[in-house]
Structure 1
Amino acid sequence: MQVNTGLRSVLGHPAIYDFFQTLMGSDRIRRELVTDYVRPVEGMRLLDIGCGTARILDYLPPLIYHGFDLSQEYIDEALLRYSGRGTFRCAMVEEATLQGEPSYDLVLAVGVLHHLDDESVSQLLVLAKSSLKDGGRLVTIDPCFDKDQNPIARFLVGKDRGQNVRTAVQYRELGCNTFEQVAGEAKHRSWIPYTHWIMECTR
């Protein structure tokens, strides 16, 4: 669930969404996410749930990339920008959607969990686990409430379009309900104060 009224509604436009993400330091965050958590290997199979405009591809080596998003505008932008780099579909990721697909080395969910209630998160985690090879990983990143965060970060996180921003403990508990191996950390940003929870779940 997300709020798409008022000022938040303009983020549905791909160019404005990308500009806002850049303003918030997304280039540095994506680079860190890929280097420290995704750790891509050329030729690996990657499923990106909620891929947005697929800007993560700017930081990835050649690999087999499947991106899904519910916004046709975002998918159209991804197709325009990254034609030939992967496949992009405007669809809900479900078992039926992935029917017949080989298992993935990595499932990525960037800024997805905080838009979902606990039941929907659990369904996504189960689907991710079933889509992964043995030893495959799910990597997520979402806004996070944390007792040590800057008050400005807490304010900004509270204004996110997603209506299910959680604490680190709450995100971790959801991961542990499905995966046996769960690691994660809260990252405090200083350029524009913000806090993210990054989680790595291994099958």
Structure 2
Amino acid sequence: MAQITSGIRSILSHPAIYNFTQNFLGVRKARRLLVRDFFPKDKGLRILDIGCGTAEILEFLPEDIHYVGFDASPEYIEQARSRFGHRGKFFADLVNSAHLDHLGKFDVVLAFGVLHHLDDPEASTLFDIAAQALDQDGQVITVDPCFAPGQSSIAHWLIAHDRGQDVRDEKGYTELASAHFGDISSTLRHDLLRVPYTYQIMVSAKHV
């Protein structure tokens, strides 16, 4: 996993500081719009959140979902359990095929802000795991900072200095998904944060 966790970026390893920074930048709005505009509206959705962080997405998800979150940070998972323990299951681990044998199939696999921390082989593994986890009609939703032509110079600078060291352009992300999924939709948003920033939101499904 290619990311910088030293220097000033190290403070983001602390859940409270991470959440404060996210909320200050306006990531709550991004999560809310993601759920509103990109999640299926079916009741009782089964959601696998890979790299769930402190699971703040649950603030915007309906009560009737079945949620499972994985994150490599025990500190983030502890915070998630403290606030949302009644809403789902949380694991301080990297999700793998062995976990899926016990968890069953999902309608949605979410990876919010994960791909840009992964090199190509690691990202391919994530999509492979996601494909295994999905029900036949399910979908993978990924959200990541993205380099884009004509984007704000401030956005480009902020994205270039992200902890994740594998930020890609739109084509780079879609090519990763296309090796595993036949139906891919990509959207660029420049208006989700309080500061200039570009997110790519990608929805990938098995069917065409």
> TM-score band, normalised by the shorter chain?
over 0.9
Q: What is the TM-score normalised by the length of structure 2?
A: 0.95
Q: Which amino acid aligns with 1:127?
A: I
Partner of 2:69: 67
Q: Counterpart in 1 of 2:54?
A: 53
Map of 1:2 onto structure 2: 3
Give, in whole Å, the separation in 2 of the partners of 1:156 and 1:7.
Answer: 14
Give the share of equivalent positions with the same residue, in percent. 44
2:196 aligned with 1:201: no
1:41, 1:87 → 2: CA distance? 20
Structure 2: 5+ residue runs without aligned partners?
none
Q: How does 1:28-47 map to 2 (within 5 A)?
A: 28-47=29-48
| Residues 48-92 of structure 1: CA deviation (Å, up to 9, x unaligned) | 000000000000002100000000000000010012100001011
Who is 1:144 aligned against?
146
Pairwise CA distance, 1:99: 1.7
Rounded Cα–Cα distance in structure 2 between residues aligned with 1:191 and 1:91:
32
Q: Secondary structure at the match of 1:157?
A: helix
**Aligned pairs (5 A) from 1:125-140:** 125-140=127-142
Q: Which digits, 9 at most, give the CA deviation of each residue in 1:145-166, with x for residues without a partner? A: 0012100000000010000000
Distance in 2 separating the partners of 1:23 and 1:42: 31
Query: How does the TM-score come out when normalised to structure 1?
Result: 0.97
Is the contact made by 1:40 and 1:61 (CA closer than 8 Å) also made in structure 2? no
Runs of 4+ in 1 over 6 A off after TM superposition: none
Cα RMSD for the two superposed structures: 1.0
Q: Paired residues, what number? A: 203
Contact map agreement 1:34 1:40 (CA 8 A) in 2? no
1:40, distance to aligned residue in structure 2 (A): 4.3
Q: Contact 1:153 / 1:195 at 8 angstroms: preserved in 2?
A: yes
Which residue number corresponds to residue 161 of structure 1? Answer: 163
CA distance in 2, matches of 1:71, 1:147: 34
The residue aligned with 1:115 is 117
Q: Could you tell me how far apart the structure 1 residues matched to 2:194 and 2:47 are? A: 30
Distance 2:133 2:41 in 1: 17
Query: Match for residue 175 of structure 2?
Result: 173
* Cα distance between partner residues in 2 of 1:200 and 1:187: 14
Q: CA deviation at 1:41?
A: 3.0
What amino acid sits opposite 1:174 in the alignment? Answer: L
